Structure 1
């Protein structure tokens, strides 16, 4: 279904679909789609997006990749790894200030530098995405003047090209569920820039339009929003999903009513830890051996556990959590919850 589109084969696919431990307060069955195991640069959901983004970059003759994110951005770390694999120069525009000479790099920044990326610090707050995007555009323009032929990627790789990665992931997941005799009532995913969510919606819409999936039994796509912008942008997610379908060249449509974003688990702001998120991180680790982080996947898992405890899914229902990765952030300053508390 995707052979007509340029890809760079960066991700290790398919990722496993695993049965997980019983959820507290719920008789529903939890499955975990292990997209933390996509291989590239420590794994995570961005590898699927970068498969298509870097395929497009190479097709356009790019000599460098430019992208942007928060100081501990998983997307930046994996873009750095993609550049290392493909022999492309990588420039990362990030929030915050450069560490002083005595402060070691940690977490995703350490790995990004290890992969050879050049990190450009903006001094911007990690939730000021508009300011960060302006800095990305300015850097891209300067690299064009230097003749580097940069391929510039917005925050999270959330473009129609990038979202194709999760349209393909939905198809992959559907085949795995059929083989495992799992009929998910819902697929739950963490969302910040909206591209992973939009891709899943596009994949579901395409399979319904092609007759491979019955609309009445298709799973809900539930996004746990961890950034204020995506929580407010239901229409934008639907628009991105439809532009992804158009770029893909298949039938199907996504309406605003198809978009479910639950922002109750974000807490005070993006990248600000929550008690529920920390509890979910500990639960996932102790009961399933999963590594989730305080900004993304831990908050997403807390939302899923919250819905389950509230009775959204009943005895015998299957629910899939798309584990988007993020473990390197556990090793950044204040990146891990208190491990002395029981779970």
Structure 2
């Protein structure tokens, strides 16, 4: 995302992507989601950013495991939140005994279940790979002492679409369209992670082996002190709007958007709608605007007339991403191409 963009449009999700985007100082940001609970979490994150300090943010979200329930309740009590959000969030936190919010998403809870299974298969020998701080030593352990056969049994489970459907997607898991089996996809993903990145730095791998975050090196970007402070400062100047609704409907009233963070939404859309995502966004986009789309086992190839695929320009950044679950696509609008409709 460019510094000081005029207007950023993004899928809100639970707000985890917004703080790092805010840290780039956009003049305006519009966040849309069809899910009221997701938006409640988004507004909660933004309230924590605006009304507390980084230590309170870390305590409340659960990045500090020693944080007491009383401390979390006291922070929540002081937040200025919309009444409906406060009621829904309070009921949720109460039903889950005020456990750390960072572990309450469907993805994180799925990883916690898989961590228990992984522990049964790979045990201490699997978790021992986290003792290394040096990539060369870690790779050597992975090649010689890591319980690879037992790990492949875990991969067989993780690569089972029926299991993922049951645990995470409730029947809506997008069909694999990559042309290779899900098992092969995951084997390649984890081989890449174990041999190119220090695993302590991965939120994803910590969750998959421990069911929790044990090493601060794996904390997401919103925890970075500089990112947090930049986002806090930018929030005071940014025209920030949180909208419940379809992102396409939201885009129809926007102009001069420089950056679109689309997440993996196109993967879940009907095929004809997914194909048309760039064209439906195009009226809202400014010249040279970037649109970032990601897919997991299902990758949409949108109609890119009037756009240039510039993904290759960002390969270094994509390679540093800490899950490697995503096939990232980046498109830049080109002013010279006319679209015939």
What is the TM-score with the length of structure 1 in the denominator?
A: 0.27
Query: Of the two, which has the highest radius of gyration?
Result: 2
Say which structure is richer in helix: 2
